[in-house]
Every structure is written in structure tokens, then in C-alpha cells.
Structure 1
Amino acid sequence: MSIVGVPMDLGQARRGVDMGPSGIRYAGVVERLEELNYEIDDLGDIQIGRPERLSVKSVDNLRNLKAVAEASETLANTVGEIISNGRFPLVLGGDHSIAIGTLAGVSKHYENLGVIWYDAHGDLNTAETSPSGNIHGMPLAASLGIGHPTLTNIGGYCPKVKPENIVIIGARSLDDGEKVLIKEKGIKVYTMHEIDRMGMTAVMEETIKYLSERTDGVHLSLDLDGLDPHDAPGVGTPVIGGISYRESHLAMEMLEEAKLITSAEFVEVNPILDDKNKTASVAVALMGSLFGEKLK
């Protein structure tokens, strides 16, 4: 397994999420995974360029477009190389805009890549629908080939994923434009309503069956704001009423049992907004479950 950190805070306006990879390492991710008998190669962090004016949106309503695109290309190359070397890529964020680069690096190695988007948000905005111009609300749309060509063509190809190969889990804050896109493209979404009504076991069973039947690899993109802020307070866009710590462990354990996940990223850990690195520790604990940690 190869770990790469992406200290990116340019996809949104709140500072501090660039320290996410450091927080996750400090919480003991390498030691935790080595205890599970993984041979870990920590590649360190990729370099993130600084835009000339951090707080100014571009004319296209895309904050820090050039810097985000450059970092995405670097990450895509790094992740692609990891897979070419026969290793599992584990990416540590950073804001969720990094998924543009991760998916660009992963998808070229699969005919039909599946994506589990574990998140309070759909991240399906474009410059036209985004209320903020923050690119961390756009990575799934960009990976579908929807949005600004600078973002959709990262890695030199487009799209990275088909709408029928996506499952969003934990959604509870969707913008109007995202709701339209979900209906239009037929994207499978389990909101908190479905999780409460069906239970996490049924949601994960359906997700695993659905993706197993149509994909040849599955990427897990886990935003810590998918969890309830009580369990993961150190995130930039917390939304109350989220997935619990216990439900999240169950989800990760079921994914491990299914041997479904072929690449993963854990994003939006912001140590500045956190309580004693609690959110990074939660991320590491969930990685433990995803990679085979058992209670007995």
C-alpha cells in the first residue's frame, strides 16, 4: 500500500484543511496499517502551488482554478504510478477537490470504475450552479465530465466515471442544481432518510451488490463530513444529523468483507477546526476497519 498526502486547501475558503494529511499521520495511520501487516510506503505530500490571490474568484466563478488543476494533474500522475506498481493507493486530504486528481489517476486503470461517495454533500456542482465557486463542491461533477474543461480533462481524458457506477451515501445537503443532475443522470443516492429507514446494513448490502454487478474496481471517496459533527467536528462544512461513528465502522467492515475497494481517499480533515485531533483519529480508526481490523 502507498500513502500520498495532498495538503490542499484551495478548493474552498476556510484555511486549515491543508494540515489534514499531517493530522492523519499524527493520529497514527502508518502504525495502524502496519499492525494489520500491510507494507506501507509513505510517499509524503505532493507540492501544492499557491494562487496569486487566494480570496478572489476567477471570472468563471471557480476559486483558484489554475492551482487546483495543477495539483490535480500531479496527483493523477502519482496515483496512476502507484497502481502501475501494483500497490493500493491511499490518499489523505486536504479538501475534497483532490478527488478530481485521484479519480483521474485511478480510472484509466479500469474499464468500469465504481465510486462510493461517502459524504454529506453531492459535490455535483458546476460553476453555473455553485453558490460559492468552491471547487471542493464540484469533484464528482468534474469526474462525470460535467463542468469547466480545465477540471473535466485532468489526466487528458474524460469522463472518469459513469453516472450508473456511482453510489452516494450519507447525503443531507444537496443544492438545487445537484438534485436536478442526480435525477437527470439517475445517480444512486442513499440520503440520511434511507439510512435511518433501512439501516446501514441494508444500505451497504445494496451498494455492494449494485457495484459488484457492474464495475471492475471501486474507489471509496470518504469525506469526514459524511459523519455527524458530534463524531467528526474538524471539517469545513459540517452538517448535523449525519452518519454515526458506529454506522461508519459497520460500513467499512462490510466493504472489507466484500473485498470491493481498490483505491481510497479520506478528505476534509481540518485540524484547526478540530478538538484534539479527534477527526483525524476517527479517519484512522475507519481506515483500520476498511483494511481488516476486527474486534475479535
Structure 2
Amino acid sequence: MISLVSAPSNLGLRPPVAGGVPGAAKAPEALREAGLFRRFARLGAADAGVVLPGRYVDDDATRAADRVRNEAALVSHALRLADRIGGVLDDGATPLVLGGDCSILLGVGVALARRGRTGLVHVDGHTDFRHPGNSDDCASVAGEDLAAAVGLHRPTLTDLDGLSPYFAPSRTVHVGHRDDDDEADETRRVLGLVLSARQAMAMRPADAASAIRSVAGSAGYWLQLDVDVLDPAVMPAVDSPDPGGFPIDDLAALLSELAPGAVGASVTVFDPDLDPDGRYARVIADLLVGAFERLGAGA
């Protein structure tokens, strides 16, 4: 059974303007309004509630140089989200976590590392591999979550509960970045498998999924989906849209192949502030209901 967990954190994002607040925290309720929860309920899914984040603050003027935006609130949210995901897994259900920004991957990682290591399939339009070893501009965990999840960020993020790394790099797969991604070469050196959007789209979905499972594990991986992996022609309601992404049908086909082997999934970075009439929330709802109908069925 799928259990929907709302994780409306925007704590890992940069402010859209000085003093502003990112809109990604509104995503779970925008998806509810678009019918996502009702449609999953018809499939037998449960609503496992909300893990509320702390207040977002544009702390650029006051934050220490060795801290990321909203770090204390972000860590608190990660640990509480880990508890909620752990409870869902203990009940024998499959969590589908609706963010929020990509920093929720830390809470996911803690939850899974507490139970023993699993693989990770990170489907994202960016590698999210910025970290202190390759950048002097580490501040927004939403662009650094994959690096943190495999142990390459500061210990205040990577070693919660003494569990670093949350995912073994050798069992971590990234799919979907554009060819000009700054950290792509390093990501290929560190992770078990890396496929750009162009490379993945050139493969049959079944073949791409087979290659991914051979690294992440035939069952027992977490599936992280950032909707900016879609081309902005079909999904512009994200904070960093870049051309060259997946069409809806191609992404749906790949996710449908991967979903049964996942122990759970998370969905991030949809920004309802960029979707005033709700059309893109409905696009995402259609995608998730179709692609994740069998989430966890083979795990």
C-alpha cells in the first residue's frame, strides 16, 4: 500500500528575490487541489499526514560562511521526516513523499540508513552535486542534496545520527542532467551510474531501467524525482528550468519501469507560485498517478 507523506519544505532553496520566500512549500496542497490525493486513494493509498518545516528566512546577511540557508530548521525537518518515513515503512507501506524542495532527500536518507543501506535513483534535471570540495558557494541544499546524500558535504548535513553516507555512492544512480551541467564529470567519477537526459532518452525505457537497477539493486532502492527533469516546454513551474529535458511520455515510461522495484519515492521542486491556474499541478498529478500506480509492488 502506498502512503502519501507531505513534506512542504522550501528551506533548501535560495530566495526568489531578496527577502522573498520560495513557493515550493505549497506543492503538496496544490497537488491535493489537483486531485492527486483523491486519485491515489481510489488506488488504495493512505494519507500519512504532513511534516511541517520551520519558517523560511532569507538569512544571507546573517548566516555564517560555513552554514547553509536555514540550516537548523532544515536539519530539524530532516530528522522529523525521517521518523515519519520510518513509521510508514514499519507499517509495511510504501512512502510517497511530496515535497517541497530537494533538501528532503536528507530526511529520506536518514530514514533508510537507520534501517540498513538501500540504493538511490536520483532523477533530476541537475546533478545537485555542488559541495565544499568543488565550490565556494555552498548555501542552498536543494542544489547540493545528492552530494550530501553520498557523504560529500559538511558533517552537519551528511552525518545526522552518525549515519554518513546515507546512500553508498556505488549504489547511487543519477539520471537527467543537461549536457552543460557543471558537476557532471565529477558525478560520473563518484557514482555507480550517471546518465544525462540526452543519453537516457536515447535508450528504450526498459533498457535504461535495467541498467539503473543493475547498479541501484533489482529491488530496494529509493526513487527521487525532481520535476525539473522535464523539459520546460511541458513543466516551466520550477525554480531552475533548463531546456533539453524529458517529454512527459518518455519520463512516465521510465518511471513506470522503475517504480515497482522502489521501496519508496519522493517528488520535489514544483512551485505553485509559477502555476497560477493550476494546469501544471494537473500535469504532475497525471504523471504520478500513472507512473507510480505500482510503486513498491516488486520491492
Q: With the length of structure 2 as denominator, give the TM-score of the two structures.
A: 0.87
* Equivalent in 101, 110, 113 of residue 107 of structure 1: 113
Partners in 2 of 1:183 and 1:251 — Cα distance? 21
Partner of 2:158 in structure 1?
A: 152
Partners of 1:110 and 1:286 lie apart in 2 by 30
Q: Report how many residues are paired.
A: 285
Q: What 5-or-longer segments of structure 1 have no aligned partner?
A: none
Map residues 115-264 of structure 1 onto 2, 5 A cutoff: 115-130=120-135, 131=137, 133-172=139-178, 176=182, 178-213=183-218, 216-256=219-259, 259-264=260-265
Indicate whether 1:22 and 2:23 are aligned: no
CA distance in structure 2 between the aligned counterparts of 1:281 and 1:124, rounded to whole angstroms: 30
Query: Is the CA contact (8 Å cut-off) linking 1:220 and 1:263 kept in structure 2?
Result: yes
Whole-angstrom CA distance in 1 between matches of 2:133 and 2:190:
17
> Alpha-carbon deviation of 1:255?
2.3
Could you tell me whether the CA contact under 8 Å between 1:93 and 1:268 is conserved in 2?
Answer: yes
Letter in 1 for 2:257: M
Distance 2:216 2:188 in 1: 19
| Matched letter for residue 26 of structure 1 | E
Q: 1:66 to 1:244 in 2, by over 3 A?
A: same
- The AA in structure 2 aligned to 1:17 is A
Q: d(CA) in 2 for partners of 1:84 and 1:132?
A: 35
**Residue in 2 that maps onto 1:280:** 281
Q: Shift of residue 8 of structure 1?
A: 1.2
Shift of 1:175: 5.0
Question: Matches of 2:149 and 2:56 in 1, distance apart?
Answer: 23
The two structures, once aligned, show a CA RMSD in angstroms of: 2.2
Deviations 1:26-52 (A, max 9, x none): 11122111222x241331x21211266
SS in 1 for 2:265: strand
Aligned CA distance change for structure 1 residues 133 and 39 (closer, same or farther; 3 Å): closer
Kept in 2, the 8 Å contact 1:23–1:277? The answer is yes
AA in 1 matched with 2:233: H
Tell me by how many angstroms 1:165 deviates.
0.9
C-alpha contact 1:29 1:284 (8 A) present in aligned 2: yes
Per-residue deviation at 1:252? 2.1
Pair 1:34-2:41 in alignment: yes
* Separation (CA, whole Å) in 2 of partners of 1:186 and 1:5: 29
SS of residue in 2 equivalent to 1:96: coil
Matches of 2:248 and 2:194, distance apart in 1:
20
Given the alignment, which residue of 73, 76, 86 partners 2:79? 73
The C-alpha deviation readout for 1:252-271, integer Å capped at 9, x for no partner, is 22224xx2011100100100
What is the percent sequence identity of the aligned residues? 28
Contact between 1:222 and 1:265, CA under 8 Å: does it hold in 2?
yes
Unmatched tracts of structure 2, length 5 or more: 17-21, 295-299
- Quick check: 227-236 or 190-199, which moved more? 190-199
Aligned residue type for 1:280: A
TM-score, normalised relative to structure 1: 0.88
Deviation for aligned residue 1:197 = 3.1
CA spacing shift, 1:217–1:110, aligned 2, 3 Å: farther
Distance 1:275 1:202, change over 3 A: farther
Deviates more, 1:163-172 or 1:277-286: 277-286
Q: C-alpha displacement at 1:129, in angstroms?
A: 3.1
- The alignment status of 1:4 with 2:11, answered yes or no, reads no
| SS of aligned partner of 1:3 | strand
